[in-house]
Amino acid sequence: MLKPVLAFSVFILSGLSLQQPAAAPAPLNVPATNPIKPNAEAIAKAKKVFGYDCALCHGEKGDGKGDVPMKVTLKDFTNAADLQSETDGDLFTIIKNGKGDMPPEGGRMKDEELWNLVSVVRSFSKK
């Protein structure tokens, strides 16, 4: 008697999970404000990483004019207004998980390194 009940609930459960939107990354518990105090050495390192990992799309200066043509117009990181609507946490999540044509950095970087990249992205608009 137990078996059909079990089978039925498995059926219900799998039906439920089918209705979940696919490919949504697990929600990260990301603070809105960058929790890492930037230090000169780490930022210099993150700038280098930006140069070889991000500049091809985002441009050496972060102005969105990299060498790789993109389907979408990239934001201009030198213009603070372009990133105004996004929290540090939003930027962190995009760098970590990727978005659209941007590949995720996720697994190969520590959170601290990702936060330092957020600082670098923000720094382009600080003169």
Nearer to ligand HEC, 5 or 106 (CB): 106
Nearer to ligand HEC, 10 or 56 (CB): 56
Name the token pair of 118: 């957020």
Give Cα separations from 50 to 47, 56, 61, 66, 103 (angstroms).
Answer: 5, 9, 10, 12, 14
Cα–Cα dist 53/39, whole Å: 21
Closest approach of ligand HEC to the CB of residue 103, in Å: 6
Q: Are 124 and 60 in contact (CB under 8 A)?
A: no
Closest approach of ligand HEC to the CB of residue 80, in Å: 12
Closest approach of ligand HEC to the CB of residue 9, in Å: 40
Residues that bind ligand HEC (CB under 6 A): 50, 53-54, 56-58, 68, 70, 72, 74-75, 86, 91, 94-95, 99-103, 105, 117, 121
Nearer to ligand HEC, 9 or 86 (CB): 86
Cα–Cα dist 104/87, whole Å: 18
